Amino acid sequence: MIDVENLTKRYGKTVAVDGLSFQVRPGQVTGFLGPNGAGKSTTMRMIIGLDRPTAGRATVLGRPYAAHAAPLCVLGALLEARSVHRGRSARNHLLALAQTHGIPARRVDEVLETVGLGKVAGRRAGGFSLGMGQRLGIAAALLGDPAVVMLDEPVNGLDPDGVRWIRTLLKDLAAEGRTVLVSSHLMSEMAVTAEHLVVVGRGRLLADTTVSELIASVAVSRVLVRSPDATALRDALVSTGATVTGREPGLLDVDGATPESIGELAARSGLVLHELTPRRASLEEAFMELTEGQGL
């Protein structure tokens, strides 16, 4: 578990993180979301002791990260994929990390295979593409077989197969009972990967909730309507105060009316309906509504 309590970080007069509190629990993928400049990376850096809090504290499994005898075996983190010795091979980079914790060389080979770098383990990390660098960073995070995994934008630079791979990996880690915290700007990925969300804006907590609860909180009442009588139906709906836009001939997007009321109106007016589909809000829409005005 990661426990963040009243965490604050100031840089002069600038408040990067402002009294932030939340918990990341084991057994599920928790998405860490927020606009650029919201304080996500700073918070993650404070969790592993790279930045010192101005106030508050962050603990991992009940202790500050640095207080653990073997930190890599407690929490594995990917914060900056390019933080490698460019002249070292991928294997030697991981081997150097392993030797600081007495981790055997066979574990290095295991994680290289896990992330798909087994065949290029002897290549210099400085020549890796962004996607390969991401995979190497994830290998480093998994090296100590940690109970907690924390990844900052892990899908950056990955191709579609790589994105699907990291999605499966995160779910598998959570299914094993590990604590998984992952930040991403890709709402479509968070919608299918995360179960819980921590959303921040300007260093403050905006939401600590499930994906489904956040989406349900958004007041979107749009209905997709398909009808050969679309023009007449549009006029009838507008007269009731609904907002109607047309995507293409015969297809309407209706905001401000329920499917039931649209169906009843069409029946009273003798208009034919071919489709009447409530449109559920997306995670991206919910995120944008929640964080409006919270960016840089």
The CATH number assigned to the domain holding 33 equals 3.40.50.300
Q: Is residue 293 part of a domain?
A: no
Domain membership flag for residue 284: no
Q: How confident is the model at residue 74 (pLDDT cuts 50, 70, 90)?
A: very high
Cα 84 from Cα 204, distance rounded (Å): 32
Instruction: Mark whether 193 and 264 lie in a shared domain.
Output: no
* Helical ranges in 205-282 per DSSP H: 211-216, 230-239, 259-269
* Whole-number Cα distances in Å, 237 to 6, 64, 234: 49, 59, 5
Beta strands in 53-172 (DSSP E): 55-60, 75-78, 148-152
The CATH number linked to 258 is: 3.30.70
Q: Which residue has the tokens 């002069």?
A: 12
289 burial via Cβ count (<10 Å: 0-12, 13-18, 19+): middle
125 and 190 in a single domain? The answer is: yes
Does residue 143 belong to any structural domain of this protein? yes
Q: Are 180 and 235 part of one and the same domain?
A: no
Q: What is the distance, to the nearest Å, from the Cα of residue 255 to the centroid of all Cα atoms in its chain?
A: 29
Number of structural domains found in the chain: 2
Residues 241 and 160 in one domain: no
Are residues 118 and 33 part of one domain?
A: yes
Which of residues 172, 195, 216 is at a domain's end? 216
In angstroms and rounded to an integer, the radius of gyration of the C-alpha atoms of the chain is 24
Q: Is the pLDDT of residue 62 over 90?
A: yes
What's the chain's average pLDDT?
92
Q: Which residue has the higher pLDDT, 215 or 197?
A: 197
In a domain, 237, yes or no: yes
**Is 289 domain-assigned?**
no
The answer to whether the beta carbons of residues 125 and 90 sit under 8 Å apart is: yes
Tokens at residue 79, please?
């914060």
273 lies in which domain range? 222-279
Same domain assignment for residues 47 and 179: yes
DSSP string, 123-145: SBGGG--HHHHHHHHHHHHHTT-
Please indicate, yes or no, whether residues 12 and 145 belong to a single structural domain of this protein.
yes
Instruction: Tell me whether residue 198 is in a domain.
Output: yes
Chosen domain end from 162, 186, 216: 216
* 257 and 118 fall within a common domain: no
Provide the terminal-to-terminal Cα distance of the chain, rounded to the nearest Å: 30
**Which H or E run includes 179?**
strand 179-183
pLDDT digits (tens, 9 = 90+) for 280-293: 778 888 888 888 87
User: What pLDDT, in 10s, does the model give residues 200-240?
Assistant: 999 999 999 999 899 887 755 689 999 999 999 999 999 99
Asked if 110 and 192 sit in the same domain, the reply is: yes
Residue 291 included in any domain:
no
User: Does the structure show a pLDDT above 90 at 64?
Assistant: yes
Residues 205, 70 share a domain: yes
Residue 286 lies in a domain: no
Residue where a domain stops, chosen among 180, 198, 216 = 216
Contact present, 132 and 117 (Cβ < 8 Å): yes
Q: Are 150 and 236 members of one domain?
A: no
If asked whether residues 27 and 113 sit together in one domain, one would say yes
pLDDT tens for residues 260-270?
A: 999 999 999 99
Phi-psi region of 81 (alpha: psi -120 to 50; beta: other; left: phi over 0): alpha
Segment 102-111 shows an average pLDDT of 97
Residue type, 176: E
Identify whether the C-beta of residue 143 lies closer than 8 Å to the C-beta of residue 106. no
